[in-house]
């Protein structure tokens, strides 16, 4: 199987994430897209994160019934902070029957040179880059890079967390099932 790995904090998962994953699952050669919930991103402050198991649960809730989308806790079992190259090495060992690709926005792609072993990542793994406004990316940088014009929504998890904290509705920004879980459990208050 050809699997795209969509790494992120998903704090919380929202319709912007789901639209990108659904588009990539439907309009690329990938057979599945795995949401790889990162327990600790080396570029983000961890105290602002909801517990990783709660974020994983929200992703699972959001994608329930979608056969081409899957939630992955693979990085929960690896040393922290999580580095993409280490995760991919582990996945290749655990699932030798699968081929893996990386999914990222053009904003992240512009910072790829700062990642651990970025040159190895670019040589060994296909990278699907979806364009984000203000972060241009040129085609032809590498044969392993595919540039995509995925539909984008200007939704931010930071904005959602702030709205919840202020007691405002996040309906239409997140799936109803995610909204219900956030409210029921008092997340982001």
**What is the mean predicted confidence (pLDDT) over 17-26?**
97
Nearest to 44 by CA among 96, 81, 85, 98: 81
**Per-residue pLDDT reduced to its tens digit, 122-181:** 999 999 999 998 898 876 677 899 999 999 899 999 999 999 999 999 999 999 999 999
pLDDT exceeds cutoff 60 at 46: no
**Per-residue pLDDT reduced to its tens digit, 67-103:** 999 999 999 999 988 899 999 999 999 999 999 999 9
pLDDT value, residue 23:
97
- Dihedral sign for Cα atoms in the order 175, 17, 67, 95: negative
Nearest to 102 by CA among 81, 78, 125: 125
pLDDT value, residue 44:
61
């Amino acid at each position: 199987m050809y699997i795209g790995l969509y790494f992120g904090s998903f704090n919380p998962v929202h319709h912007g994430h789901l639209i990108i994953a659904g588009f990539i699952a439907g309009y690329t050669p990938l057979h599945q897209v795995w949401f790889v919930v990162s327990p600790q991103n080396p570029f983000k402050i961890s105290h602002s994160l909801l517990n990783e198991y709660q974020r994983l649960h929200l992703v699972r809730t959001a994608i329930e019934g979608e056969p081409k989308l899957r939630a992955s806790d693979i990085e929960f079992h690896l040393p922290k902070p999580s580095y993409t190259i280490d995760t991919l090495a582990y996945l290749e060992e655990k699932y030798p029957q699968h081929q893996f690709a990386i999914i990222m926005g053009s904003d992240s792609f512009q910072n790829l040179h700062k990642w651990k072993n970025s040159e190895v990542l670019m040589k060994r793994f296909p990278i699907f880059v979806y364009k984000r406004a203000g972060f241009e990316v040129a085609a032809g940088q590498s044969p392993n890079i595919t540039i995509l014009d995925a539909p984008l929504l200007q939704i931010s998890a930071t904005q959602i967390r702030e709205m919840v904290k202020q007691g405002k509705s996040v309906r239409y920004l997140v799936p109803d099932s995610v909204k219900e879980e956030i409210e029921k459990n008092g997340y982001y208050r």
